[in-house]
Structure 1
Amino acid sequence: MSAAALVAPQTWSHWLLALALNGVLIFLAQRLPLLTRAGWVHAGILGSLLWGCLGLRGWLAVVIYLALGSLVTRLGFRTKQARGLAEARGGLRGPENVWGSAATGALLAGAAALAPAAAPLLLVGFAASFAAKLADTFGSEIGKRWGRHTLLITTLRPVPPGTEGAISLEGTAASLAGSALMAALMLALGLLAGSGAWLLVTLVGLGATLIESLIGASFQQRWCWLSNELVNGLQTAIAALLAMAFT
């Protein structure tokens, strides 16, 4: 596939269509228990950017990412809630969650639209950023509910589930599955080319998730300004840079 075919046509009519379609879709979807009201507004902005830069395929990849992340958050939700481990607001994501997860991907999508010749490389980074974030969500949500032995990644000492930097065998396996699933989706949509790119993005997604755990264990408890959303942004940026470096 040519580089130009990977990005959407950059015309005013295309961008107006992106804004109109996302406005209608967000209006219809805002009753779904996925995002806060403000979260839906920001999701509409993100969706318009992705549709405008990458067309239907880029937009669809992130919509499915959101659906998968929300679905795994609901697994065992009552048990996690009873243990004080559930996501706040009943699992609804807000604007900070939207951009913590997707800012790196949005920047890479914009760069691909501005530089079509570099689109194949930039889209490897785009795919890796979302693979890493879905890996993180799968690992965190499944590990908190079903992880039997939770260890701090820096010392391998037992810690309570939900501790920053905690890992478990079950959560790590779930992270690998989430990364592989997101990479497979990117491959199916034509945003990645070949099994080699799928494997690279899968492994980078898992690796960036483990690096995020290291950051959480080493720095997040010391530095109050290092929020979960900022750590998420760092994780997705690390994944994108690693994937592009090894391509």
Structure 2
Amino acid sequence: MLHGYRKKSLSTSGALAAFSVGFGTLRNDWSVFGVVLLVFYFTGSKLTKYKAERKKQLEEEYLECGQRTASQVYSNALIGTILSVIHQYYYGDGNLSGSCLLSDQGSRFIFYMYLGIYATCNGDTWASELGILNEGWPILITTFKKVPPGTNGGISPLGLLASILGGLLIGISATISLILTNSCQGHPEIILIASVAGLIGSLIDSLLGATVQITKYNEKSHKVARHDDKDSKVVSGYDLLNNNQR
């Protein structure tokens, strides 16, 4: 929390929200829950600031400091935190027989849900932060027509690859953590589940962005414009949701 606040990757409300997320997750006896959360947070923060000047040239609403608010923190991490707390309640404090949390069906089910959520979030974050830097214009997922970089619902080769890699990193991190701390051997499906979740999550987010979130483009500034910009034209979608609601 303090690291993110000092580095300006979290606003004040975001830092407080991050504290509650961290507390609810890191108190879990199984360290893999905390490892997954930290990998998601640190890689997302780094990629948000990666080539910030270039992103600023493409989007009027791009925040140079990349600060996350409480609503942004909870939109990504609230469900995962709840799952971690539930898992700790039922399977923490020595309530799980065996040295591997995957040995119990209920424990495994909750963990896979947790893994899938953060793999989805990480894949979508990587796709958004790296996909906008694709050399050519992306295509809209609903019409396959070329749209300006930064358009909600736009997909590109770089963005799709990034979504898989984002999920893959979550899967690899979880697998290594389980092997080192919980003696969980022989579970390659973790990496597969996380990689697929990263891709599917990004595609679903793109579909929502193309349909229920409006994107406007200002031809004078050559940037994806703010939704209230009267001098811009609508590229796609309807003004029903924002980035924090999908």
The structure whose residues are more often helix, as a share, is: 1
- What pairs with 1:116-155 in structure 2 (closer than 5 Å)? 116=91, 118-155=106-143
Deviation (angstroms), 1:153? 0.2
Name the structure 1 match of 2:244. Answer: 229
Name the structure 2 match of 1:79. Answer: 54
Name the structure 2 match of 1:201. Answer: 194
Name the structure 2 match of 1:172. Answer: 160
Q: Distance in 2 between matches of 1:35 and 1:226?
A: 22
Name the structure 1 match of 2:26. Answer: 51
Indicate if the aligned counterparts of 1:85 and 1:144 stay in contact, CA closer than 8 A: no
Indicate if the aligned counterparts of 1:128 and 1:183 stay in contact, CA closer than 8 A: no
Q: Distance in 2 between matches of 1:112 and 1:28?
A: 27
Q: Distance in 2 between matches of 1:54 and 1:212?
A: 32
- List alignment gaps of at least 5 residues for structure 2: 92-103, 215-236
Q: Distance in 2 between matches of 1:205 and 1:85?
A: 27
- What pairs with 1:15-54 in structure 2 (closer than 5 Å)? 26-27=1-2, 30-54=5-29
Q: Distance in 1 between matches of 2:46 and 2:60?
A: 16
Q: Distance in 1 between matches of 2:163 and 2:13?
A: 28
Q: Which amino acid aligns with 2:55?
A: K
What is the aligned residue count?
Answer: 206
Name the structure 2 match of 1:100. Answer: 75
Establish whether residue 220 from structure 1 lines up as the match of residue 235 from structure 2: no
Q: Which amino acid aligns with 1:132?
A: T
Judged with a 3 Å threshold, the aligned counterparts in structure 2 of structure 1 residues 158 and 63 are, in CA distance, closer, same or farther, namely: same
Indicate if the aligned counterparts of 1:50 and 1:58 stay in contact, CA closer than 8 A: yes
- Greater CA drift, 154-163 or 144-153: 144-153
Question: What SS class does the counterpart of residue 28 from structure 2 fall into?
Answer: helix
Q: Which amino acid aligns with 1:226?
A: L
Judged with a 3 Å threshold, the aligned counterparts in structure 2 of structure 1 residues 125 and 85 are, in CA distance, closer, same or farther, namely: farther
Name the structure 1 match of 2:204. Answer: 211
Indicate if the aligned counterparts of 1:72 and 1:141 stay in contact, CA closer than 8 A: yes
- List alignment gaps of at least 5 residues for structure 1: 1-25, 232-247
Deviation (angstroms), 1:212? 1.2
Judged with a 3 Å threshold, the aligned counterparts in structure 2 of structure 1 residues 55 and 195 are, in CA distance, closer, same or farther, namely: closer
Indicate if the aligned counterparts of 2:128 and 2:159 stay in contact, CA closer than 8 A: yes
Deviation (angstroms), 1:89? 5.6
Deviation (angstroms), 1:156? 0.3
Give the TM-score normalised by the residue count of structure 2: 0.76
Moved over 4 A (4+): none
Aligned Cα root-mean-square deviation (Å): 2.1
Identity of aligned residues (%): 24
Q: Distance in 2 between matches of 1:199 and 1:184?
A: 9
Question: What SS class does the counterpart of residue 47 from structure 1 fall into?
Answer: helix
Give the TM-score normalised by the residue count of structure 1: 0.76
The structure whose residues are more often strand, as a share, is: 2
Q: Which amino acid aligns with 1:70?
A: S
Question: What SS class does the counterpart of residue 59 from structure 2 fall into?
Answer: coil
Indicate if the aligned counterparts of 1:39 and 1:98 stay in contact, CA closer than 8 A: yes
